[in-house]
Every structure is written in structure tokens, then in C-alpha cells.
Amino acid sequence: MADDSRRKLLDWAKRFQIIGGTARGLVYLHQDSRLRVIHRDLKTSNILLDKDMNAKISDFGLARTFAGDQTEARTKRVMGTYGYISPEYAVRGSFSMKSDVFAFGVIVLEIVSGKKNREFCVPHQSLNLLGHAWELWNEERPLELVDESVRNSVIEVEALRCIHIGLLCVQGRPEDRPNMSSVVRMLEDDKPLPKPRLPAFYSHQEESMGRDDGVSANERFQIIGGTARGLVYLHHDSRLRVIHRDLKASNILLDKDMNAKISDFGLARTFAGDQSEATTKRVMGTYGYISPEYAVHGSFSTKSDVFAFGVIVLEIVSGKKNREFCVPHQRLYLLGHAWELWNEERPLELVDESVRDSVIEVEALRCIQIGLLCVQGRPEDRPNMSSVVRMLEDDKPLPEPRLPAFTRTMKNLWEEMMKFQQMRLPFHR
């Protein structure tokens, strides 16, 4: 099911058969086997098909069994596959049958659409596949979700029912999701279904500094400089060294003169004396701005803020958000896109089209280079904020940047965290 070329060979009847077979397999695991089995890593690549297209659930390496009346458990070691993990498991480490139901819902929407949740991309939108399905449902256009390769042969009533069931299974609250026995009955009869509620991980809101509409090239350069000087104060000039730990575009406020003010110190930590680094087992922050050493090891320092500043610089230059950046048929973050343009000697193509005609090229080039220096993978390679301010204010040659962290999609961040057995990374939107 994860193979694009083979997926095109699956007509609607086979897809509907696979959905039903997977549902019945989960009923067996959750209710009919001697011990209740929670798979914990259900995904399309773990659904194997025999010659008759019967679905077989495979790969039980992360599975856990419940005995007696046990219905839920918790772990400090969250493992699985990004895009299929339920919110309660990702955030609190809590897993149950409803975690598998969530993953099943994702699979249903992937089979119907022929697209993967974790790689789904619509330019100029910040939606994953679940959010896209939800918006089409609410706009009464759900059949537009159906894979184009089967759209002419699909049985509409079955497709609509599968989409409806998929959305019921990916609801944010586990108690709102049906159990798998109910899902099988829903697939087999035509009784009315309950109305689905908001899916997990659905966000379609814009953040204040994340939108640069109407901000001139000169004002953007001013904002970058003001943010840099604010970080110099926090890191060097205040009585205690302050590590912000959640620096992002929406935490940069602008006054009427477009002077930048860093805000929201709810996750900030202070260092006294010679302390330059600390480690935590509870990593918190915002996807797209978290440095690799913090995401993977829980280690934070002034260089963690430098990384986030570099992301902000590239966002301000481009007018796009790192975590929502989308180029169809590519799996690049904004950082990876900037890096490729830099190496192809086309960096000015990163500049927001709305200011491209008025931008001072030497300033834009310098900002892009500084941004790339700040998002380098190794913290020791990044400049400190005092050096950044000097780089912005003079025209001395800058060092060549090295490979940025997380140049590709969020899947890479998740896999790297799993590899290093990171405990928990809460979802902050």
C-alpha cells in the first residue's frame, strides 16, 4: 500500500476490501485474541496483501498486550511512525485501543486519497491530509479527496462512508473515536453515522509575524536587526543569561514603528555565572524552530536560540514558514530549500516575491547567509548573537555555512528522535 506504482493498480473495490480486512484484523487483536494486543505502529507499510488482496497486519515489534480489564497504559518512551501516532500517545505517552483506531483512520484516508498523511502537501496551506479531508468534508466536497486514478470507477456511497469513518477515527479525543467492532459494523451496513468532530493536529490559523504581507524589504531588515539585538541583551547584557527556548515568528511583536520586541517567556530558563548549557528530559517548544540538540538530547543553550533566530531570518526573507513550507514533489523544509538555492548560486530566488523588486540585494544575500550560519546542525558552528549583530552591521566577508539541521520533512526529525530514544516532545502549535 505504501508503493506508489502498485497503488495505482488498486481499483476502488480492492481498496474497499483492504479497508474492511484491516478493520477486521484489528477487531481480532483488540477483542478476539487471548490477550488484547495494541499494535502501536499501524501504518500502510505494515498492511501486507496476499494474492487475493486480503489484508494482513504485520510488524508487531512495538506491540503491547493488555490482560484482564486493562484498557490503557503509559510510557515515557514514545515510539512509532510520525503521521500515524495519536495525540494522546505523542503528548502524554498514553496508548490504548483508541491509539490504533486513530492510526486506522489515517490509513483509511490514505487509501481513499492515494496520498500519505506525513507527506501531504498543498501549496499555500498549512494542512496535513487529515486537515484537508476535514475542510473538504465541511465544505461538502468530500469526494474531491478520492484518488484521481479511481475517481471514475468509485462507488460514491462507499467512498463517502469510508471518508466519514476515517474522520470519526482521527478525532482528537480518544473517547470520541469508535472502537473497531463499531467500525466494522459501520462498513457493513448503511445506518446513519455520527457527525465527526475536529481531527487531531488540525491547525489552519496564521501567526502574526508568520505573515509578512505589507511589510517592506527595509522593514524586514529592521525587524531582523531588532530581534538580533534583543537576543544579545537576553544572552549577554541582562543580569542573568536568559535562554528563551520558544523563539518563533509569533513571539516577535512589532510596535507602530516596526521595532521588534521579543515576547512570551513562559518556557524561558536563566543561567547564572559560567553556566552555558543545560539538559532536560521534557523537551518543549514549537516544531520548526527547535534546534537538533534540544529535540534529540534535550540540551539547550544560547545556541538553541541562535538556531531559532536563523529560522526566523529565513522566514522573514522568504515570507514563508519553515514548518509549513511546501514544494510539490519535494520533501524539503524551508531550511533545505534555502540551502539548495544557496549551493546552486540562486539564493535571491528565496526572497519573497512581494518585495523582490525593491529589496537591496546585498542585504538580502547577507541575511540569507547569516540565517544559514545560524541553522547549521552543530551548535558549535553557529555564531553567537553578538557576532550576528556585527555581521548585520558591517560588510566583512562571512564564513561559508555548513549543512543545516532538518533540511527535509518533519519525518526526519521524528525518526531521529526515535533513534536516540527521546522521551517526549509535546505538540505546541
By annotation, the residues acting in catalysis are 41
CA dihedral sign of residues 320, 116, 65, 421: negative
Contact between 325 and 390 (Cβ < 8 Å): no
d(CA 21, CA 7): 17
Distance separating alpha carbons of residues 29 and 179, to the nearest angstrom: 12
11 close to 150: Cβ distance less than 8 angstroms: yes
Residue 428 and residue 170: Cα distance in Å, rounded? 19
Task: Name the one residue in this structure whose C-alpha cell is 531550511.
Answer: 335
Quick check: helix, strand or coil at residue 47?
strand
The C-alpha atoms of residue 280 and residue 297 are separated, in whole angstroms, by 8
CA distance 408 to 165: 32
425, amino acid identity? L
Alpha-carbon span 234 to 251, nearest angstrom: 15
Nine cell digits for residue 80: 512509532
Collapsed DSSP state (helix, strand, coil) of residue 44? helix
Burial of residue 421 (CB within 10 Å: 0-12, 13-18, 19+) is exposed
207, containing H or E segment: none
Q: Where are the alpha helices (DSSP H) in 319-394?
A: 334-343, 361-374, 385-393
Fill in the amino acid letter for 248: K
Amino acid identity for residue 240 in this structure: L
CB 221 within 8 A of CB 260: no
Which of 183, 129, 190, 180 has the alpha carbon at shortest distance from 157?
A: 190
Amino acid at the residue 113: S
Question: Position 355: which residue type?
Answer: V
Q: Among 222, 205, 204, which Cα is nearest to 134's?
A: 204
| Segment (H or E) for 55 | strand 55-57
CB 89 within 8 A of CB 42: no
